[in-house]
Amino acid sequence: MSKSIKVWITIPLMFFCMVMSSQTSFEANDAYPFGRANPDAPEQIKDFEKLIGLCDCLSESRNQDKSWNEPVKMTWKFKYIMNGMGVQDETFKDDKSYSGSIRQFDSETEKWYVHYYSHPKISKQLSVWVGGKTENGDIVLYRDSTAPNGTEGFYRLTFYEISDSGFNWVGEWTDKSESVVYPTWKIACKKRL
């Protein structure tokens, strides 16, 4: 191959590699296995900063008879996606059930939009929770939900006691005023160092 052809091929290839590298420089890699927050993202991208990584968790759900099931061991992984502009989480439970969410912050509404999916119960349409970080540091998300007796309300998800060493999470039905609260699922997590 002639020298001029090599130069003609090499320069566009180098430019392409530089462009591709800048478009994915905040994705997971050897140095940052869970990605990084993109500095061009809204500052709220860091709301989940202390959750990024792997956690060992215990998940408990409520039975129809209102008693709690035995805790199930679970790994919960959080990482930055979309070149550091969003957050994804995945759960891997010992009972062979799995789930995850895509989390995006909308600067116009100043809210997080969280799209949930799971296995083996496959969603035909993704559920969406909306909310944000509260003054006390909790992250609270809501989705409209009707109780079995027909009362209108929300299914509320709350991340709380968030620290460098872990966090707790609870899913609960509330009425519209949030004065009636019925927890149906709770998870306690310790950060894997």
For 22, the enclosing helix (H) or strand (E) is helix 3-23
What gap in Å lies between CA 64 and CA 166, rounded to an integer? Answer: 29
Q: Report the percent of the chain where pLDDT is more than 70.
A: 88
Tokens linked to 128 = 């969406």
Per-residue pLDDT, 3: 57
As a whole number, mean pLDDT of residues 130-146 equals 97
* 11, pLDDT greater than 60: no
Mean pLDDT of the chain: 90
* Between 19 and 65, residue with greater pLDDT: 65
Mean pLDDT over residues 52-61, rounded?
97
Structure confidence at residue 23 (pLDDT): 64
What pLDDT does residue 69 have? 92
Q: Which CATH architecture has domain 3-191?
A: Beta Barrel (2.40)
DSSP of 20-64 = HHHHSTTS--SS-TT----TTS-GGGGGGGGG-EEEEEEEEEB-T
Measured CA to CA, the distance from residue 45 to residue 123 in angstroms comes to: 26
Question: How do the domains of the chain map onto residue ranges?
Answer: 3-191
Contact indicator for 102, 89 with CB cutoff of 8 Å: no
> What is the model's pTM?
0.85
Q: What is the pLDDT of residues 85-110, one digit of tens each?
A: 999 999 999 999 999 999 999 999 99
